[in-house]
């Protein structure tokens, strides 16, 4: 049976191989595995045929972006970039390179534009107010092959709403139980004393379901839990399969998940407007989810109109989602992090245990059923059979 990740890779490859090729746009939140998938696809297609461009790290000025892209390109550079190009000319030269580049064998080049929405950085330069629209138009008109990604789902969908059908939006799926077993499997087999390793297939499946549920199916969270469980086994702890203890350790002040959630929280807030008020709303929703606009505005002590603007800005960067006019965190793990760390002092062990159990207990799968206990043999069986009805008297 194909897992969602295998199906996803095949779907992207099929889109690229179509005639004319389609442009997959991979959308998913922090830790959903977008970049990992791109690296796997680059290895599969061939590094001399693909250029992976991390737009988030290289979008500074149009001129420097052009130099950064062309300096490491695996493709022949046929058009020399102007030595002193202005911002518009440099961006046009970049689009020209993306649109016309060919592999050394003369085939269409493939470009992976990771976090393509970060090209918005160039909108502050003269002549580049519509940089994202110009970029998408240029890519759609090219005969080359492209894959785009973004962690900002709402913004990307709004941008692509009226675009050509050549763009194919693909939501990053959550990991399946089989995917999680694959991640846990090598770590489980290689680590710890045999007594800590779930040898029973039912036990291994239950551990995978537990990890998958606690991680909300996000690859980065699953990997962090798997690594923490392996570390616990390597150190000889008795909790080599205790996913809840592993989660508590990861959400401690210096824990891996605490740092990952902090990065995601700050990154998205800085991409939005109304920084202070948005943090206040997130703290309100951390205390109680599923609140309406009116309930949030009352607790925020702001008008419903301004609160509605704040909520729309949080939705714009996928920090909150509205279902039936009630607002909640898009990432439940991030809500736990806010409850633990958006406070005057660092959480202590009791705080960690309380919040992790509060988060974990509703998500835990049902444990595997224990085999029925074997009935004890009656005492007479030990003596060689049932009583005969004759009472012997010494």
Which helix (H) or strand (E) segment holds residue 27: the answer is strand 23-27
Query: Distance (Å, rounded) from C-alpha 63 to C-alpha 87?
Result: 6
Tell me which residue of 274, 272, 299, 273 sits closest to 285, measured CA to CA.
299
Residue-wise pLDDT for 9-34, tens only, equals: 999 999 999 988 999 999 999 999 99
Please count the other Cβ atoms lying within 10 Å of the Cβ belonging to residue 370.
7
Q: Which residues have a Cβ under 8 Å from the Cβ of 288 and sit 6 or more positions away?
A: none
Tell me: pLDDT of 196 over 60.
no
Q: What is the pLDDT at residue 197?
A: 52
Tens digits of residue pLDDT in 153-182: 999 999 999 888 899 999 999 999 999 999
Terminal Cα-to-Cα distance of the chain (whole angstroms): 71
Assigned token pair, 201: 């297939």
Burial of 12 (C-beta count, 10 Å sphere; 0-12/13-18/19+): buried
Total count of residues recorded for the chain: 394
158 φ, ψ to 5°? -65, -40
pLDDT score for 237: 58
Q: Report whether 310 contacts 275 (CB < 8 A).
A: no
Instruction: Identify which of 125, 117, 153 has the alpha carbon closest to the alpha carbon of residue 331.
Output: 153
**Which residue is listed with tokens 């961006």?**
91
Residue 78 has pLDDT above 90, yes or no: no
Beta-bridge partners for 189: none
Q: What is the pLDDT at residue 371?
A: 63
**Looking at residue 53, what is its pLDDT?**
96
Other Cβ atoms within 10 Å of 244 Cβ, number: 18
- Answer with the residue of higher pLDDT: 369 or 5: 5
pLDDT of residue 386: 45
| Distance from C-alpha of 288 to C-alpha of 159, rounded to nearest angstrom | 32
Specify the pTM: 0.83
So what's the pLDDT on residue 80? Answer: 52
Per-residue pLDDT averaged across 215-241, rounded? 87
């Amino acid at each position: 049976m194909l897992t969602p990740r295998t199906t996803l890779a095949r779907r992207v490859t099929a889109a690229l191989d179509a005639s004319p090729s389609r442009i997959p746009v991979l959308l998913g939140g922090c830790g959903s595995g977008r970049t990992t998938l791109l690296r796997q696809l680059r290895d599969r297609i061939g590094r001399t045929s693909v250029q992976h461009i991390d737009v988030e790290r290289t979008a500074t000025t149009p001129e420097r972006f052009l130099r950064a892209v062309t300096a490491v390109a695996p493709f022949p550079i046929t058009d020399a970039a102007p030595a002193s190009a202005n911002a518009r000319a440099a961006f046009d030269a970049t689009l020209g390179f993306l649109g016309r580049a060919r592999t050394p064998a003369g085939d269409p080049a493939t470009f992976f534009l990771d976090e393509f929405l970060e090209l918005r950085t160039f909108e502050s330069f003269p002549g580049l107010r519509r940089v994202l629209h110009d970029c998408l138009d240029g890519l759609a008109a090219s005969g080359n092959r492209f894959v785009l990604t973004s962690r900002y789902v709402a913004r990307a969908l709004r941008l692509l709403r009226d675009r050509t059908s050549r763009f194919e939006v693909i939501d990053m799926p959550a990991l399946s139980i089989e995917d999680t077993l694959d991640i846990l499997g090598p770590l489980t087999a290689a680590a710890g004393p045999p007594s800590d390793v779930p040898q029973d297939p039912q036990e291994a499946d239950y551990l995978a379901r537990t990890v998958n549920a606690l991680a909300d199916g996000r690859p980065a969270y699953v990997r962090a839990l798997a690594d923490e469980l392996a570390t616990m086994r390597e150190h000889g702890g008795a909790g080599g399969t205790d996913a809840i203890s592993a989660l508590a350790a990861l959400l401690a002040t210096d824990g891996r998940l605490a740092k990952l959630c902090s990065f995601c929280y700050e990154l998205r807030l800085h991409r939005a407007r109304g920084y202070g008020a948005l943090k206040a709303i997130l703290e309100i929703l951390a205390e109680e989810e599923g609140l309406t606009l009116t309930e949030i505005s009352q607790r925020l002590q702001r008008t419903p109109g301004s609160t509605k603007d704040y909520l729309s800005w949080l939705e714009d960067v996928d920090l909150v989602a509205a279902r039936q006019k009630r607002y909640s965190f898009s990432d439940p793990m991030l809500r736990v992090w806010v409850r633990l760390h958006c406070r005057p002092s660092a959480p202590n062990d009791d705080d960690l245990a309380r919040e992790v159990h509060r988060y974990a207990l509703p998500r835990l799968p049902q444990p595997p059923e224990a085999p029925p206990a074997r009935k004890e043999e009656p005492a007479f069986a030990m003596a060689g059979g049932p009583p005969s009805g004759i009472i012997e008297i010494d």
